[in-house]
Amino acid sequence: MVQVDPRPQTGDTVTSVGAAGGETSSGTRSKGLSGNSVGLLGSAVIGISTVAPVYCLTSTLGPTVGEVGVQMPAVFLAGFLPMLLVAFAYRELNNAVPDCGTSFTWTVKAFGPRVGWMCGWGLVIATIIVLSNLAGVATSFFYLLLGELTGSPAVAALDDNKAAHVLTCLVFIAAATAVSYRGMTATKGVQYTLVGLQLAVLAGFVVLAVIKARSGDFAGSVDFSWTWLDPFAVRSFSAFTAGLSLSIFMFWGWDTCLTVNEETAGSAKTPGRAALLAMVVLIGSYLLTAVASQMFSGVGREGLGLGNPDTADNVFAALANPVMGTVLGVLLFVAVLASAAASLQTTFIPVARTVLAMSTYEALPASFARIHPRFRSPGRATVAAGVATGVFYAVMSFLSENVLIDTIYALGLMICFYYAITAFSCAWFFRRELRNSARDLLFKGVFPALGGILLAAVFFKTLTDMWNPAYGSGSSVLGVGSVFVIGVGLLVLGLVLMLVMQRRSPAFFRGTVLTRATPALMVED
């Protein structure tokens, strides 16, 4: 059997690792989280919520059309493919090692502590960036909705007041942190309502958009064509990869289903099934909304056309009243706000549990491994994530809007980075099982490796594009694009922090706390 660190874990006034029950049969450690708190549906809902489908659609429909025109539905399908392949990797790894550290833990098992640490860092820093972005979006739509309800432009204009915007943003972050702090039971209850609202409003939007498009009363409307689903009809490879990068971002967050595996009933099987269920709901929602929007508005660059640069960053704000009418149109604003707020709350889950796992295995300071005795949640890690998000957003907002924008553009690099490493980890971890059956070969080897290759290709293509100062806000540092500097800089920062932790926690980096292994080595002789 694989060797693990025999030293007992100590606790204090708050339940920590030692009180949680020690090691599991897979050589991992129990964290003391609240088991059996989430079922299949609840886990899938949390995954959908983290992705924030309504927010992703309103902010991505326009830019995607700007890159690929009417082939937007095809590009959404293309972006779904690598995510689906990586989802298979997550499912198989979770079956073997159901640990809330997910990418971090599995990569350590496959490739060792240093690669695993950097993979965990990629997930953590990507999540912090997303949290700050979601809080900003929730704030903007909060004031936009208030302006619609009150009919007061002055109220809507409060979003342009930097002090008011940042203060409101911090309130949203604090509220989301508080809900996440109270554990999975509170999280699940909030998410059923918010996700249900999002999907119901999207369904209404799709139906009304198709009906009005087919009525012939709107000048920009176009008839549906099956050629919209042909990715080879995109005008250039460069345009295709740009659209693909946007599409991949739209699916990011489904892996939250896996980070709650230690709190899910049937921790080995249920999270993987929930992730696949969430992916199916997402691709269905995206395709239907993309087709309906395109039929109603067309892809023109003027008026309600999806290619209009003046409305590209918030398509639903332009289409709400024309498609749904004045009264129902408000529901679309509510849905976008609910989407951003719901995702803001659930996005704390993966970062807090990854930090919890890294601390449990001594890759981060031990204080982050503390579990709240009542809520059975990683309280210290959740609060730390909330504070980091608030500080990051406030500092970036007052320092430079360009830096904040470029940081968000660099997000795609982080996502591809840790997803690709996790996918490759699956193929390597199960390498001795690939000849057992055709199923093992495909789902544990071929599909994950192919997903990793696709995401690695996007990673390096994005890295090349980021070098150009025109990428993102258009700012540069010594002639190099700011997005490149920020993206690579964040990875280098992770490397520096890893070296610091290597001096503070040599046991983890020697591989004696969380060991490399294969499934054959994780069973009793």
> Residue 480 burial (CB < 10 Å; 0-12/13-18/19+)?
middle
At 446, the pLDDT band (50, 70, 90 cuts) reads: very high
> Band of the pLDDT at 522, cuts 50, 70, 90?
low
Residue 11: the pLDDT is 33
Mean pLDDT, residues 384-392? 90
Residue 141, pLDDT > 70, answer yes
The residue with greater pLDDT, 498 or 369, is: 498
Q: What string of DSSP letters covers 474-501?
A: S-EETTEEHHHHHHHHHHHHHHHHHHHH
**DSSP symbols for 311-322:** TTT-HHHHHHHH
What is the sign of the dihedral through the CA atoms of 316, 319, 324 and 327? positive
**Residue 227 Rama label (left phi>0; alpha psi -120 to 50; beta):** alpha
Report whether 55 contacts 134 (CB < 8 A): yes
pLDDT at 76: 93
Cα→Cα distances 359→29, 39, 116, 366, 370, Å: 11, 26, 13, 5, 9
Average pLDDT, the chain: 84
Contact 326, 333 (CB under 8 A): no
Whole-angstrom distance, CA of residue 350 vs CA of residue 353: 5
Mean pLDDT of 480-506: 90
Strand partners, 264: 38
% of the chain exceeding 90 in pLDDT: 33
Q: What is the mean pLDDT of residues 38-42?
A: 85
pLDDT, residue 3, reads 35
Q: What would the pLDDT profile of 245-299 be if each residue is shown by its tens digit?
A: 788 878 888 888 888 888 888 878 888 899 889 999 999 999 999 999 999 998 8
pLDDT digits (tens, 9 = 90+) for 73-116: 999 999 899 999 999 999 999 999 988 889 999 999 999 999 99
Residue-wise DSSP of 106-157: HHHHHH-HHHHHHHHHHHHHHHHHHHHHHHHHHHHHHHHHHHHHHT-HHHHG
Q: Residue 25: what pLDDT?
A: 55
Q: Give the model's pLDDT for residue 185.
A: 64
Which has more pLDDT, 126 or 498?
Answer: 498
Query: By the 8 A CB rule, do 219 and 343 touch?
Result: no
The average pLDDT across 5-29 equals 44
Mean pLDDT for the stretch of residues 202-225:
90
Buried b (16+ CB within 10 A) or exposed e, 248-264: bbbbbbbbbbbbbbbbb
Q: Residue 516 corresponds to which amino acid?
A: R
- pLDDT confidence tier of residue 364, bands split at 50, 70 and 90: very high
Q: Which two tokens stand for residue 132?
A: 């700050």
pLDDT of residue 473: 67
What's residue 401's pLDDT? Answer: 67
Q: How confident is the model at residue 7 (pLDDT cuts 50, 70, 90)?
A: very low
Question: Residue 328's closest CA among 338, 319, 337, 340?
Answer: 319
The pLDDT value recorded for residue 9 is: 36
Cα–Cα distance for residue pair 230/486, rounded to 1 Å: 35
pLDDT bin (cut points 50, 70, 90) of residue 359 is very high
pLDDT for 324 beyond 70? yes
Contact 91, 275 (CB under 8 A): yes
pTM of the model: 0.84
Q: Kindly indicate the confidence band of residue 171, based on its pLDDT and cuts at 50, 70 and 90.
A: very high
Instruction: Please say if the pLDDT value at position 1 is more than 50.
Output: no
* pLDDT at residue 399 tops 90: no
The better pLDDT of the pair 175, 2 is held by 175
Assigned token pair, 261: 């595996």
Tokens linked to 470:
């025109």
**CA 253 – CA 245 distance, rounded (Å):** 15
Write down the pLDDT at residue 4.
Answer: 35
What pLDDT sits at residue 10? 32
Q: Assess contact for 299 and 307: CB atoms under 8 A.
A: yes
Q: What is the DSSP string of 348-395?
A: HHHHHHHHHHHHHTTSS-GGGG-B-TTT-S-HHHHHHHHHHHHHHHHH
C-alpha–C-alpha distance, residues 70 and 265, integer Å: 43
Q: How far apart are CA 68 and CA 150, in angstroms?
A: 38
DSSP 10: P
3-class SS shares of the chain: helix, strand, coil, % to 5: 75, 0, 25
Point out the least confidently predicted range of 56-60, 356-360, 397-401: 397-401
Phi (first) and psi of residue 481, to 5 degrees: -55, 135
Q: What is the pLDDT of residue 443?
A: 96
- Give me the phi and psi of 476, to 5 degrees please: -145, 165
AA identity, residue 137: V
Q: What residues does 480 pair with on adjacent strands?
A: 477
For residue 49, pLDDT beyond 70:
yes
